């Protein structure tokens, strides 16, 4: 099996791809912390593998995307010591000779590039990838596979946490879709403001990108842990793929290790 590790600012996601069934079959998460220890990762993986009747010997390759440089050495050491494997850590150098091109490889997060590679490989057309994570990002790719740019705004949970942290009376609320766009009490008011507000933001951003590039026939692809929260956006997306980043990590790793185009 192939292990993709996606280290983000909130969570480190471990995903396992079964090459026989061509499916992402297993996923677990560990909270991202700068003081995270190797034995904590070992314990989390060991427990998950026990519960799912897996063994670390089933893993043959590992690819890592990390936007948290402070934990890169930990992740590499974990793979080397616990899995006995040398992982591929994606960097700006990894983007050479991919189907996706970017003029600023060292400024593009490896998670965003993974999204772009996976989406373009699948659709072979212009794409707008909306990633609902710690940040809400919009990655724009044209028909030729050139990354035109990325828009970044605070993610939904980030906005809710910021509202709670920076006010004395507003609570941190759950991400439940409200019955009405007009808040009736404090919790409902925050949920309506954030969720309906972000739905409008996503719609508006997609339309603005389309207006700026009117000759592109975009596929709209959503991913990220919160991609299903904004229920009134489902019809706006051509594809909803929670495993998009994991798949992109796998493709970039295999491409760079084999030296061949991904199939």
241 is in an annotated binding site: no
Give 59-80 pLDDT, tens digit per residue.
999 999 999 999 999 999 999 9
7 is in an annotated binding site: yes
Which residues of the chain are in CATH 3.30.420.40 domains?
A: 2-89, 123-248
- Whether 185 is catalytic is no
Domain 123-248 has CATH 3.90.1170.50: no
194 is in an annotated binding site: no
76 or 20, higher pLDDT: 76
Catalytic residue among 111, 185, 238, 241: 111
Question: Can you tell me the distance from the alpha carbon of 132 to that of 234, in angstroms, rounded to the nearest whole number?
Answer: 13
Q: Please report, rounded to a whole number, the percentage of residues in the chain having pLDDT higher than 90.
A: 82
Topology annotation, domain 2-89? Nucleotidyltransferase; domain 5 (3.30.420)
Q: Please report, rounded to a whole number, the percentage of residues in the chain having pLDDT higher than 70.
A: 98
Give 42-54 pLDDT, tens digit per residue.
999 999 999 999 9
pLDDT of 97 reads: 86
Give 140-183 pLDDT, tens digit per residue.
999 999 999 999 999 999 999 999 899 988 888 988 889 899 99
pLDDT(12) > 90: yes
The pTM assigned to this predicted structure is 0.93
């Amino acid at each position: 099996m192939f292990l993709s590790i996606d280290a983000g600012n909130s969570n480190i996601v471990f995903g396992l791809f079964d090459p026989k069934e061509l499916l992402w079959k297993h996923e677990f998460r560990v909270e991202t912390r700068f003081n995270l220890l190797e034995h904590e990762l070992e314990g989390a993986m060991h427990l998950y593998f026990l519960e799912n009747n897996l063994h670390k010997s089933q893993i043959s390759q590992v690819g890592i995307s990390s936007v948290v440089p402070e934990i890169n050495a930990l992740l590499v050491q974990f793979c080397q010591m616990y899995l006995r494997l040398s992982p591929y850590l994606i960097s700006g150098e990894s983007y050479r000779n991919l189907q996706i091109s970017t003029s600023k490889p060292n400024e593009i997060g490896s998670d965003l590039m993974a999204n772009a590679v996976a989406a373009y490989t699948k659709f072979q057309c212009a794409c707008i990838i909306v990633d609902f994570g710690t940040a809400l990002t919009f990655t724009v790719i044209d028909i030729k596979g050139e990354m035109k740019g990325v828009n970044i705004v605070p993610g939904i949970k980030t906005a809710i946490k910021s509202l709670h942290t920076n006010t004395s009376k507003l609570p941190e609320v759950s991400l439940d879709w409200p019955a009405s766009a007009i808040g009736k009490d404090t919790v409902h008011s925050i949920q309506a403001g954030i969720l309906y507000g972000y739905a409008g933001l996503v719609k508006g951003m997609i339309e603005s990108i389309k207006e700026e590039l009117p000759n592109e026939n975009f596929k709209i692809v959503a991913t990220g842990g919160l991609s299903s929260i904004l229920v009134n956006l489902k019809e706006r997306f051509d594809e909803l793929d929670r495993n998009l980043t994991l798949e992109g990590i796998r493709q970039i790793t295999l491409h760079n290790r084999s030296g061949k185009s991904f199939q």
